[in-house]
Amino acid sequence: MEERYVGRSGLRVSRLGLGTLCWGHDTDEHDARDQLRLFVEAGGTLVDTADSYGDGTSEEVLGALLGEVVDRSDLVITTKAGLGRDVAAGGPLRPDASARSMLMALDRSLARLGTDHVDLWLAHAWDPAVPVEETLRALQAAVTTGRARYVGVADHAGWQLATAAAGAVRTGVPLVAAANELSLLQRRAEAELVPAATHHGVGVLAWAPLARGVLTGKYRAGLPADSRAASQQMARWVAPYLGAEHRRVVQAVATAADGLGVAPLEVALAWVLDRPGVVSALVGARTAGQLKAVLAGEDLVLPPEIRAALDDVSAR
């Protein structure tokens, strides 16, 4: 699998990243083990998790597999901090990018992962209640103490990324990555986030490149019983992309796939990987079978005319 440099840094990652949002609930430890093995055998190196994924269970599952399935040194591990829960048990996640919260979360992440450092640590959300300088000091402290090799942000708007990136330069620890949703059904990041990232030398990690599974075409004929949309936990996650306005794009992807003799997910993924500024696409499969299908088509390059047609049909 091809590796790419992340922004203006020496960090290299595989062009596909393994997302672990489902690990610990929809994906048990056995399926996680199979996924990680398949991913590494295909040449993948970037594994993405967060302290908020399953309240830490994703990190715990990954940590249990390090040393068993793959050497720690063979992976580029990314985790995130900056989202916390309200005091009430089971309350919704909310931004908390204070230095205290961020650095405590990083220490918990390292303990769950069973490692003394992560390769890339991201501030998971913009917190309007906390000065950005404070959040940046937390990122700086993580690097200077050796607990993180590189830092960046996730789910920031373009102006938020630009503000943080400019401030980070002054700390001496620049941002190298920005993780944001990007797919044929969600192109909002292209308006401001991607140009801001390019200007500041920040590489984009595109999450949900298959629009939370919708661009695989699995929902064209209904709601499969074993799908995320049928899951009580994940239904709200998929619902925004099941509207009538999205069906035209899904159909266009399926038509292109038929013409190329490949699966729709291969077309959707190839479109994202070809976007300016994108370093890697983070794919979160629930099962090893789903991941195997993704890996089988990761090297597809779309003909210019098909790419242009998809650009047109998905334009907002």
Query: On the CB side of 297, how many CA atoms lie within 13 Å of its CA?
Result: 21
Query: How many other CB atoms sit within 10 Å of the CB of residue 90?
Result: 7
Q: What tokens appear for 2 in the block?
A: 């091809």
53 is catalytic: yes
Catalytic residue among 53, 150, 219, 241: 53
Cα(175)–Cα(170) distance, integer angstroms: 11
Cα(84)–Cα(91) distance, integer angstroms: 9
**Catalytic residue ranges:** 53
